[in-house]
Structure 1
Amino acid sequence: MDPNSPKSWSIHTRQEITAKYQILEQVGSGAYSDVYRGRRISDGLIIALKEVHDYQSAFREIEALQILQRSSPNVVALHEYFWREDEDAVLVLEFLRTDLASVIGEAKKRGQGSLSVGEIKRWMLQILNGVEACHRNLIVHRDLKPGNLLVSDDGVLKIADFGQARILLEHNNVASDNEQQPYEQAVSEQQSYVNPSLELIDKEEYFRGLDQFKPQNVHHDEADKETNSCLATCCTASDLDDDPFKTSSYSCQLEEGGGEYGALGPLTSCIGTRWFRAPELLYGSTNYGLEVDLWSLGCIFAELLALEPLFPGVSDIDQLSRIITVLGNLSEDVWADCSKLPDYNTISFGKVESPMSIGSRLSHRSADEVSLVSKLLCYDPAKRATTTELLQDKYFLEEPLPVPVSGLKVPSTKNRQDEDSPGRVYEYEDMGSDSDLDEFGTFKVTTSNTGFSIQFP
């Protein structure tokens, strides 16, 4: 693009940025952002410059990070940002050259047992502290995975990539595009919706309280259904072409918000990365809260323990199938409200008589470790342990105790470069949404006056 055009898309043409920062090299590139390693001219500090090409991703990340700046040392620091009309947002972030995915990858190369129990506990505690800060401020991250957990050279883990985050308001609703701010006002005001008086409460009250923050199901008109793209990590135009689910809510829904400046809209199920996506999202739920992060935590912890992803699905249907193989069929016996999920009656699987169980997938780990993961990986969102509960779990208080942060092994080299985060160097293979169903062989389609259902063997 011509650098002299009104919207240059190039960080190198922004004098307000180049006057303060020396741009050293590009370290990541993706559909929604480009990331550069840079140096602050005033003091030589190495930083990351993240140029975000998508308005709503930039808005969400800036707002979430502003709220969280003083909440936890385990959230990436936002030094400042540049944003004006007709330009992309550029976030100046602390530079972290590696991530938890690289930690896991290096440990896998060394072999089983290369991560001590004390190290695993310290990594888990840092993750929990960061997510607890998010949830304390009613921020749901919605894309927790090892590649979004950055690690400093001295072993401090920090949650990053808040472009999919949502802030659940204390005003009995979720921010809606029906109340969009003008572009200039949205950029300049950056309101923070923190509940400073949020206190620890028992779990039943905790999840009852979340109900008031969940939106009602959103009905999109026919024009919305014809959209050619969703979130970059979820759907592309090819995913929707010839999709047998195109007339069903199972098809990825229109990304939240609408129009060029749709920053905050109704919730969507089309978020996160498949291997870490909660089952209610896979069944099309748009009525959820912090609990989807808790499921992701369970998948991350299981990967730390096994050095392998727990549910490495190659498509959304395969993802559900893998979960059901381990946990058993989703029914009202295990989650009373599961039949309310948009696609519960559309997609069904054959009866799993003998589920594998999480314990069998973590056969070399202790009962306490299996118990910790099991507290997060359950179908009923209300039964998932909260971050506050997990931080008080006996597992972290018993020998061997968590090692000091200084005792953690931090990879000295990067794995494969990923696209959106400063220092993010890990990429899971093929975790978009379904583009075809050939891999599943035969399946049964039943039509009715109200639609159709698909049953997999």
Structure 2
Amino acid sequence: MRLELTHQNITPNTDWTQTQQPLEHSQRMADRYSKNKKVGEGTYAVVYLGTQLSTNRSIAIKEIKTENFKDGLDMSAIREMKYLQELKHENIIELVDVFSDDSNNLNLVLEFLPSDLQHIIKDNTLTFKLPDVKSWTLMMLRGLHHCHRNGILHRDLKPDNLLISPNGNLKLADFGLARSLGTPDENLTSNVVTRWYRAPELLFGSRHYTEVVDLWAVGVIFAELLLRTPYLPGKDDADQVVVTFQALGTPTEDIWPGVSSLPHYNNIEKFPPPSRGELRNRFLAAPESALDLMCGLLIMDPNKRWDTTKSLMHHYFSERPPPTSPELLPGTKNP
């Protein structure tokens, strides 16, 4: 079954019960899957490990409790359904099915991915090599490139939203904050992206931004993979500003024209940008090409920050040693 989501049949104020299939059909859909084990629960959803009965395939079922919403379905659930239906790529989690059950709950059936990049980074029993970091970064950029060329911003890239399949493929997941690229004059919320991975234009409260907010997050995750520890771990929003600019330098009008006019650019402490030598000392094992890529992803001025195309074409990915094959990556759980 494919559930089409358009502005005509589901909007933020639409009652899900008015759009779902007849109960008999919904129950037939529910009978295709078993919910075997609860693996997570939040305010609005419960996640189960389950099985697709016809194939015996392991799947994850996110059961969204529609009773919690007075005016219809949670917007993040609508976004996740809509964009995952549009995005089919080996480095993006697969939405297998959507159905409603006899309690009017909405169920998203997703491919089961047993691990995530956060778990791998924190697992001290695993040893990373530079080709492993190159492979994870390459897969991250390929999935993101597919999002951006289809006009979709992810807006919440972080290691625990980068899931790992049994054969080692990294896949972008959790599209609850995703949205279509806006027009240049459209106001967007700056309260997106988990704090440690938030681009400077968002820290300054910009209401106009582009897909390069995702590239900043990739740059921070890339640094985290090289360090095996968080790169810019702010304690709160105010501290995030200090931590970010202390590490990378405070942007000025000279390097980012117009930055001083952004809403939260006031009383900012001025820190100098790090020299190349300082970066080499921070990332002792990283080759020059890796530092080049990182610096391109972490350019302060969003108008100059690298996009996915420029990043993927960088010689870091083509020079030796080549990226590790996914099935040989640390932490891969081959079936």
- Computed over aligned residues only, the root mean square deviation of the Cα atoms, in angstroms, reads 2.3
1:115 aligns with 2:134: no
Letter in 2 for 1:95: F
Partners in 2 of 1:16 and 1:305 — Cα distance? 48
**Which residue among 44, 58, 79 is the counterpart of 1:60?**
79
Which residue does the alignment assign to 1:216? 186
* Residue 97 (structure 1) aligned to one of 95, 114, 126: 114
Instruction: Tell me how far apart the structure 2 counterparts of residues 341 and 83 of structure 1 sit (CA, whole Å).
Output: 44
Determine if contact 2:79/2:179 at 8 Å carries over to the other structure: yes
1:318 is aligned to 2:216 = no
**Identity rate, percent:** 42
Q: Which amino acid aligns with 1:128?
A: L
Matched, 1:148 2:155: no
Query: For residues 371-400 of structure 1, what are the alpha-carbon distances to aligned partners after superposition, in whole Å with 9 as ceiling and x for unaligned?
Result: 111111121012111111111111111111
SS in 2 for 1:92: strand
Q: Please list the CA deviations of residues 26-69 of structure 1 after superposition, one character each: whole Å capped at 9, or x if unmatched.
A: 11122332211111122211111012345211111111111112
Pick closer, same or farther for the CA change 1:364–1:51 going to 2, 3 Å. same
Which of 7, 27, 33 is the equivalent residue of 1:21? Answer: 33
Question: 2: CA distance between counterparts of 1:316 and 1:163?
Answer: 21
Q: Secondary structure at the match of 1:34?
A: strand
Given the alignment, which residue of 39, 56, 64 partners 1:44? Answer: 56
Contact 1:215 1:287 in 2 (8 A): yes
Alpha-carbon shift at residue 83 of structure 1 (Å): 4.6
Q: 1:339 to 1:118 in 2, by over 3 A?
A: same
Q: Aligned partners of 1:382 and 1:353: how far apart in 2?
A: 21
TM-score (ref. length: structure 2) = 0.84
Unaligned stretches of 5+ residues in structure 1: 1-5, 7-13, 169-173, 175-212, 218-266, 413-457
2:76–2:177 CA contact under 8 A, matched in 1 = yes
* Structure 1 Cα separation of the partners of residues 33 and 44 of structure 2: 22
Q: Which has the higher mean CA deviation after the structures are superposed, 331-340 or 48-57?
A: 48-57
- The alpha-carbon deviation at position 88 of structure 1 amounts to 3.7
| Aligned position for 1:343 | 264
Which whole-Å CA distance do the structure 2 matches of 1:45 and 1:371 have between them?
42
| 2:316 alignment partner, one of 388, 395, 400 | 395
CA distance in 1, matches of 2:44, 2:298: 31
Q: CA deviation at 1:354?
A: 6.6
- How many Å separate the matches in 1 of 2:176 and 2:209? 18
Are the counterparts in 1 of residues 154 and 175 from structure 2 also a CA contact under 8 Å?
yes
Distance 2:157 2:272 in 1: 31
Matched residue type, 1:45: R
User: In structure 1, the residue corresponding to 2:144 is in which secondary structure?
Assistant: helix
- The residue identity in structure 2 corresponding to 1:56 is M
Other-structure match for 1:329: 250
* Equivalent residue number for residue 91 of structure 2: 74
The number of aligned residues is 301
Structure 1 residue 141: deviation in Å? 0.2
Structure 1 position 86, deviation (Å): 8.6
Q: Secondary structure at the match of 1:293?
A: helix
Over residues 141-161 of structure 1, what are the superposed CA-to-partner deviations in whole Å (9 max), with x where a residue is unaligned?
Answer: 000011001101110111110
Q: Return the offset for 1:338.
A: 0.9
Change (3 A) 1:395 1:363: same
The residue that corresponds to 1:181 in the other structure is none
Q: Secondary structure at the match of 2:107?
A: strand
Once residues 150 and 249 of structure 2 are traced to their aligned partners in structure 1, the CA distance between those partners, rounded to angstroms, is 34
